């Protein structure tokens, strides 16, 4: 199974923001969309960074509430690790574990094609295990 299969199932919609949006505005966007990360896109529609809930908490702990008025570019991760649609789910899980990343943008030909969260991977993995169990039960029964 590949990243593409997960994206085809969950959808390819990605919440993106510009680098000048404030951290406060991004926090509201995360809450309103029930998501844990937004991708920051530059003027050329390229991935400039990623901002997660954890980044916001770390910024508040380090700089206090004043960081909420800063642009997301001041607290985002600029070195964004991406995966590709043709990557296997096993490779994706290994990558997320190694990088300790809960969200990975999916990039195709240099463009943002989606985002995969650890929750998406876990849902997929559970579904695959349930299907395998059903196949085994059917084989034994029949």
Express each pLDDT in 11-56 by its tens digit.
999 999 999 999 999 999 999 999 999 999 998 889 999 999 999 9
Q: What's the rounded Cα separation, in Å, for the pair 67 and 58?
A: 10
Nearest C-alpha neighbor of 10 from the set 85, 76, 100, 82 = 85
**H or E segment at 139?**
helix 118-141
> How many angstroms separate the CA atoms of 28 and 25, rounded?
5
Can you give the pLDDT at residue 32? 97
pLDDT digits (tens, 9 = 90+) for 64-90: 999 999 999 999 999 999 999 999 999
pLDDT tens readout for residues 2-19: 899 999 999 999 999 999
Average pLDDT over every residue of 109-122 = 91
Work out the pLDDT band at 131, boundaries 50, 70, 90.
Answer: confident
* Ranges of each domain in the chain: 3-141
| 118: Cα separation from own chain's centroid | 8
Q: How many CB atoms lie within 10 A of CB 101?
A: 19
Note the pLDDT of residue 106.
Answer: 97
Homologous superfamily (CATH) for 3-141: CBS-domain (3.10.580.10)
């Amino acid at each position: 199974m590949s990243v593409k299969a997960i994206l085809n199932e969950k959808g390819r919609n990605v919440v993106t923001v510009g680098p000048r949006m404030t951290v406060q505005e991004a926090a509201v966007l995360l809450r309103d969309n029930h998501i844990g990360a937004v991708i920051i896109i530059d003027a050329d529609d390229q991935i400039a960074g990623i901002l997660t809930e954890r980044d916001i908490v770390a910024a508040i702990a380090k700089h206090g509430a004043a960081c909420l008025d800063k642009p997301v570019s001041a607290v985002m991760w600029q070195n964004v690790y991406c995966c590709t649609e043709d990557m296997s789910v096993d490779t994706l899980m290994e990558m997320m574990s190694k990088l300790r990343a809960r969200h990975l943008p999916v990039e195709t030909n240099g463009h943002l094609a989606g985002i995969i969260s650890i929750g998406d991977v876990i849902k997929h993995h559970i579904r695959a295990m349930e299907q395998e169990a059903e196949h085994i039960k059917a084989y034994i029964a029949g």
